Structure 1
Amino acid sequence: MEKVRFLMIGVGGMGREHIRRLLQVPEAEIAALADPSEAALEQVRSRFPDLAGVAVFTDYREAIAKVNADAAVIVSPHSMHFEQGMACLEGGLHVLMEKPFVDGSENAERIIAQAEKLNKHLAVAYQRHLQGPYIYIRNLIQKGELGNINYICAYQAQNWQQGTTGTWRQNPALSCGGQLNDSGSHLLDIVLWATGLEPESVSALIDNRGTQVDIDSAVTVRFQGGAIATFNVVGSATIGWHEDVSFHGDKGTVLFRNSRIFVAREGQREIVEVKEELPASSDPNRDFVDLILGKVSEAAAPSSCGLRIARLTEAAWRSAANGSQVIRL
């Protein structure tokens, strides 16, 4: 195979970002677009004139049946991911899924099993696994430079509630959850990925702020081995975006402050900003093409990452619904 032919399912805002990335990959080709929205399809035609001759479908099932594709990228409302993903796998396609993977851990287990049965690649577009700052932090932790991780404090603030009002993201039938399941999914994922820690128990307080979905979440996780993490996901913030993550080990500390990294290694009492060159960044689309072509042995964010986050998110929701009861995983 010299080129990987892609079917794009969902070409809204994030779908167009996936298209932009794929068009920069010489070994990738966009074979077809599928979206029920004519307005979304028209925006693609306008922004990417090179795709003028690409086949267009309003029904993704028709696209799977008629297009000679190798893989699909699914960027539709969250509740549609499982059905669309299963159809693509059964149609012989590898699948790259936008976060937060599929609706719930049971469906995550089912689609992972189906991909394994059919010998197809299935990955999640957690792009931070391929970005230099996060790779640097993970390498620092995995090489043991911080020692045993004892405490993690993760904070994310975004005007998510205001920004998603009137959209499918606040419709639980389509979104399957609110801020914790959306932008917050990245925060949960990066902590689990960077540390390699396995959650043991979860407790949470969640406020919907008068909407149908979670907006503000305070989640505490105890990991196997004793480490503790607090996740503070603020969807009612007035600011556009801010994110802090602190990792404290028994030999050192690393702080991520809105893209700036500070480290205190063993014996250092003060943190020092990292000025050295960070690892090179890539993106999930480039990585997925490399995976299909056999250039890498595993996706940067395999489907198992989506399953782990689904289990953790569900536990937080159950805890909050039951008076912050501790939920064991």
Structure 2
Amino acid sequence: MSTIRIGFIGCGNIAHSHVLRLSRVEGVEIVALADPGERGRRLLKQKFGLDRAAEYDDHAEMLNGGDVDAVIICSPHTLHARHAEEALAAGKHVLIEKPMTCSSEEAKHLIATAERAGKVLQVSFQRHFLPPFLYIRSAIADGVIGKLASVTATLYQNWKQSQEGTWRQMPELSGGGMLMDSGSHIIDVLLWTTGLTPQQLSVQLECHGAPVEVDTLTAFRFAEGGIGSMNIIGLAPLGKLKETYAFIGEAGGIFYDNGRVTLTLNGQEPIEPELPESVTDPDRSFVDAILGKHEVLVPGEYALKVVAFTEAIYAAAGYVVEPAGRPDAAGRGVR
């Protein structure tokens, strides 16, 4: 395969990040853009000079056209499962935005579908490629801070106000609130870096008058030992998000604060450890996996764990996402 021809399903803001990263990868051509909104397609084409990319109102027409080898899915959350399944059925490799799906059953089905089709299915959890989180995962695995005793994770974001009126607060398209949206990144870090299994959840949840949940406070125990907490706060007076973690072990702790990592071993002064270099990203690694240069770095199994934990939090809170209407094939809510 000399050139990998890529199509997009969904041309909103996150699609711009994918196109920017792909612009740095050789042997790739973006040949098609599918989105029911013409404005989104046009903005993406103009910003990145994608004059040769075909435009489609309907992603099915793009998939049936035969000119696409791989698809990047940037559509609203509840459409991910159907769009990915249709792309895999059409013989396309798939890179899918978070959350991979809005239910564990959908996630399991996609994983099985990709396996049967013999196609790459990768999830765009970008923290798997960032130096701070690569260091944290490696340090925990190497026993630098000893056996984990506690983990805390927090995310503060002006999510309620900034997303008001968008599809992210429409249950029929979002599948949930901030936990399902930005919170999926935090859950991913929590599970991926530690390899632990949360259980015995206790949850407090608040919607603040929004159609979906905005804040969640979750406490839990790990099946392997230790305790944890995760606070996803969407009602916060911040211009930029604030993301923090504390991984406390029997021999010390690792602290993360918006990109800065500090290691403190028992009886020693805090240091900022040397971080590994970032050698790839979600899009470059997706292309390399298609070419067989390495395995899929963020397979669906990781995303399944994230979705399952999200479901468990909602269940522990007695929270049910009530869609106002089901989305139609183009992603518009039917009321």
- Please tell me the TM-score bracket, short chain as reference: over 0.9
Cα distance in 2, alignment partners of residues 46 and 231 from structure 1:
40
> 1:143, CA displacement in angstroms?
1.0
Cα distance in 2, alignment partners of residues 114 and 159 from structure 1:
37
Cα distance in 2, alignment partners of residues 19 and 148 from structure 1:
41
> 1:3, CA displacement in angstroms?
2.3
2:307 corresponds to which letter in structure 1?
A
> 1:202, CA displacement in angstroms?
2.1
Q: Which of 291, 302, 319 pairs up with 2:299?
A: 302
Residue of structure 1 in register with 2:164 after alignment: 165
Aligned residues: CA RMSD: 1.3
> 1:42, CA displacement in angstroms?
1.1
1:293 corresponds to which letter in structure 2?
L
Cα distance in 2, alignment partners of residues 247 and 261 from structure 1:
11
Contact 1:124 1:302 in 2 (8 A): yes
Q: SS of 2:297's equivalent?
A: coil
Cα distance in 2, alignment partners of residues 117 and 232 from structure 1:
38
Q: Which of 280, 283, 296 pairs up with 2:281?
A: 283
The unaligned stretches of length 5 or more in structure 1 are 323-329
Q: SS of 1:140's equivalent?
A: helix
Cα distance in 1, alignment partners of residues 275 and 195 from structure 2:
24
* CA deviation profile, 1:265-289 (whole Å, cap 9, x unmatched): 3x43442233x35322531001100
Contact 2:184 2:306 in 1 (8 A): yes
The unaligned stretches of length 5 or more in structure 2 are 320-335
Q: SS of 1:232's equivalent?
A: strand
Is it true that 1:317 corresponds to 2:335 in the alignment?
Answer: no
> 1:91, CA displacement in angstroms?
0.1
| 1:148-187 equivalence runs, <5 A | 148-187=147-186
CA shift in 2, pair 1:168/1:263, >3 Å: same
Cα distance in 2, alignment partners of residues 142 and 226 from structure 1:
15
Residue of structure 1 in register with 2:108 after alignment: 109
Contact 1:125 1:284 in 2 (8 A): yes
Residue of structure 2 in register with 1:16 after alignment: 16
CA shift in 2, pair 1:158/1:58, >3 Å: same
1:286 corresponds to which letter in structure 2?
R
Residue of structure 2 in register with 1:241 after alignment: 241
Q: SS of 1:107's equivalent?
A: helix
Cα distance in 1, alignment partners of residues 297 and 126 from structure 2:
8
1:236 corresponds to which letter in structure 2?
L
Cα distance in 1, alignment partners of residues 29 and 146 from structure 2:
44
2:288 corresponds to which letter in structure 1?
D
Sequence identity (%) = 38
> 1:118, CA displacement in angstroms?
1.3
Q: TM-score, length-normalised on structure 1?
A: 0.94
Contact 2:135 2:275 in 1 (8 A): no
Q: SS of 2:179's equivalent?
A: helix
1:113 corresponds to which letter in structure 2?
A
Contact 1:130 1:300 in 2 (8 A): no
Is it true that 1:217 corresponds to 2:229 in the alignment?
Answer: no
Cα distance in 2, alignment partners of residues 45 and 286 from structure 1:
20
Cα distance in 2, alignment partners of residues 82 and 277 from structure 1:
35
Cα distance in 1, alignment partners of residues 206 and 11 from structure 2:
31
Q: SS of 2:30's equivalent?
A: strand
Residue of structure 2 in register with 1:70 after alignment: 69
Residue of structure 1 in register with 2:322 after alignment: none
> 1:252, CA displacement in angstroms?
1.8
| 1:185-224 equivalence runs, <5 A | 185-224=184-223
Cα distance in 2, alignment partners of residues 201 and 116 from structure 1:
32
